[in-house]
Amino acid sequence: MKRLGRELVSWARFFWTTLTSMRTALILLFIPGLAAIPGSLLPQRPTNPSGVRNWLAANPGWAWIDRLGAFDVFGSAWFAAIYLLLFVSLIRCILPRTAQFAKALRAQPSPPPGRLVRLEGFTSVPAGDVPAGDVTAQLDAAEAHLRAHRYRVRRDADAISAERGYLREAGNLVFHICLLTTLVGLAWGSLFSFRGSAIVVEGQAFSNTLSQYDEFGSGAAFNASWLSPFTIRLDQFRVRFETGPTQTGAARAFDATVTVTGADGEVGQSELQVNAPLQLGGDSVHLLGHGYAPVVTVRDGQGNVAFSGPVVFVPVDANFRSDGVIKAPDARPDRLAFEGVFLPTANATAAGMVSVFPDALNPRLLLNAWAGPPKAETGVPENVYSLDKTGLTQLTTGDQPVTAALAVGESLTLPDGKGSVSFDGWKRWTKLQVSNTPGGSLVLLSVMLAVMGMAVSLSVRPRRLFARVVGLVPSDPAAGDASAERGASVEFAGLDRVEGRGGLAEEVAALVAAVVPPATEQEEP
């Protein structure tokens, strides 16, 4: 048992040493980048659930990768494990280095090495060439020069050693600490963030509740009760398209006038623009897209209004040709449905009617009609942009399907007394995105500080300079102050703590010049 215990301790030490090594930290930094590749290539369930369903339907043989978390990479257990190991490794690397740096700041520079001749810029000056020739004057001149150039100086009886460049390690530590806080901010945002979108038609409103969203994704720790209580009513949506010969039809501006009702019941009007989101209770409201919603009225075979109002159509090209479905499940005696195409600026061609400009200059609504017996309500949600034709039959006149190209104010009467549909007008809709990503400010600040720390680390030159009196001759006590300590020669040298940095020989020469005037300076190789 003791042997087994020793082996377990040995393996635990090996695992801990390996995990907390710098090499492992670099590998763990590289792995999330690789792991993010499937997250960028494949649709992700939190943000695009319909895209995941469509991808799996188109690639049934690859359904097994769903069990590996390929469609929720950043929320998978294995990605969280990599994240956690990276945290541990970084913390273990940062703490000892911080302690060592704090110790180095309190300590004096190390004394000169035994043989300065091996260092770069070595220079030896005979004591006879040094003015005054006494040790104190020589070392005082060297110390004054080094302190003036922001060196930390250590003064001994016969030598001076100086060091600068401590900010290099400080910048390095700032970079690694900010890398850690960036990961903390990203994890914080990933756990507690949410993002949802909803399409709102002019004249309608959106309330910030979970049931009002068309699409919604959130972090694992998000709670729906945290949604800020507010309501946005879309009063007007304005779009301006390019009409000139260059980039005709390109969107030049679009913005919305909205009425906002806060949690306290206070009502106010605001302008919502692209790249200028509203901030409501900590949530950001963005404009994402826009389109058209034809306003239609459907009457059933009994003359009753089975449906009336705007229907969202989805743009499919640059000229805003839009597809949509109109459903009247409550029509009697048969339920009715229509497949439609909205053309903002319709133009007849040999191939049929097309839209030639994205603005609604000559709107047309193209329809074909379907009917079928009433369908029992099952509570199962249906896609509002596609028509389930189960139990429906396309209406025809003779052998030809019933179709129509309606202008505003026109209507289509269905055969066999099935009812009618009228095109009453159109409205614009916009897609609102409401999001909240806590930790974003922490990430931004951390990245900025990390860049600054890296810039300092790359630009600061950690360097040491040395000066030493060799062959020291003690002063004669009988002569009093008239006889000072003298040296046979004064040696100078320098040491760069980072390879590939120039200018060390020049700094040594400047130190020599501060002690020995250039006119009397002599160098011995």
Q: Which of 53-57, 134-138, 386-390 has the highest mean pLDDT?
A: 386-390
Say yes or no to pLDDT of 377 above 70: yes
Q: Which among 29, 19, 164, 233 is positioned nearest to 461, based on CA atoms?
A: 164
Quick: pLDDT tens for 246-283.
888 888 888 999 999 988 888 899 999 888 899 888 88
Note the pLDDT of residue 276: 87
Segment 491-514 shows an average pLDDT of 84
Query: What mean pLDDT value characterizes the chain?
Result: 86
CB-CB contact of 212 with 451 (8 Å): no
Q: Which among 388, 286, 282, 280 is positioned nearest to 337, based on CA atoms?
A: 388
Quick: pLDDT tens for 203-227.
999 999 999 998 888 887 888 888 9
Q: How far apart are CA 285 and CA 428, in angstroms?
A: 18
Task: Give the pLDDT band of residue 472 (cuts 50, 70, 90).
Answer: low
Q: Where are the alpha helices (DSSP H) in 107-134?
A: none
Segment 464-469 shows an average pLDDT of 90
- Nearest-Å Rg of the Cα atoms of the chain is 39
**Partners of 468 in the beta sheet?**
159, 491
Note the pLDDT of residue 323: 96
Q: How far apart are CA 202 and CA 416, in angstroms?
A: 35
Segment 403-431 shows an average pLDDT of 95
Quick: pLDDT tens for 305-322.
999 999 999 999 999 999
What residue has token string 């951390």? 446
Please write down the long-range contacts of 384-387, taking CB distance under 8 Å and 24 or more positions apart: 384/312, 384/325, 384/327, 385/312, 385/314, 385/323, 385/324, 385/325, 386/325, 387/325, 387/327, 387/337, 387/339
Segment 357-373 shows an average pLDDT of 96
Torsion sign, CA atoms 57, 58, 60, 64: negative
DSSP-derived pairing of the beta strands 322-328 and 335-343: antiparallel
Tokens representing 130?
């040094």
Please write down the long-range contacts of 32-40, taking CB distance under 8 Å and 24 or more positions apart: 32/79, 32/82, 32/83, 32/86, 35/73, 35/78, 35/79, 35/82, 36/73, 36/74, 38/70, 38/73, 39/73, 39/74
Say yes or no to pLDDT of 129 above 70: no
Length of the chain: 525
Note the pLDDT of residue 522: 45
What residue has token string 């200018």? 503
Q: How far apart are CA 166 and CA 497, in angstroms?
A: 11
Q: Give the Cβ contact number of residue 483 at 10 Å.
A: 14
Q: Which residues contact 274 (CB under 8 A, 6 or more apart)?
A: 254, 255, 287
Query: Which percentage of the chain shows pLDDT scores above 90?
Result: 42
Note the pLDDT of residue 134: 63
175-184, 229-238, 320-329, 475-484: range with lowest mean pLDDT: 475-484
Note the pLDDT of residue 486: 57
- Please give the backbone phi and psi of residue 50, each rounded to the nearest 5 degrees, phi first: -65, -35
CB-CB contact of 401 with 394 (8 Å): yes
118-127, 157-166, 399-408, 416-425: range with lowest mean pLDDT: 118-127
Amino acid at 345: T
What residue has token string 């229907």? 311
Torsion sign, CA atoms 332, 334, 337, 338: negative
Segment 510-514 shows an average pLDDT of 89
21-25, 50-54, 370-374: range with lowest mean pLDDT: 21-25
- Tell me which H or E stretch contains 415: none
CB-CB contact of 24 with 18 (8 Å): yes
Quick: pLDDT tens for 39-96.
888 888 776 777 888 888 888 888 888 888 888 887 788 888 887 888 888 888 888 8
Q: How far apart are CA 280 and CA 70, in angstroms?
A: 34
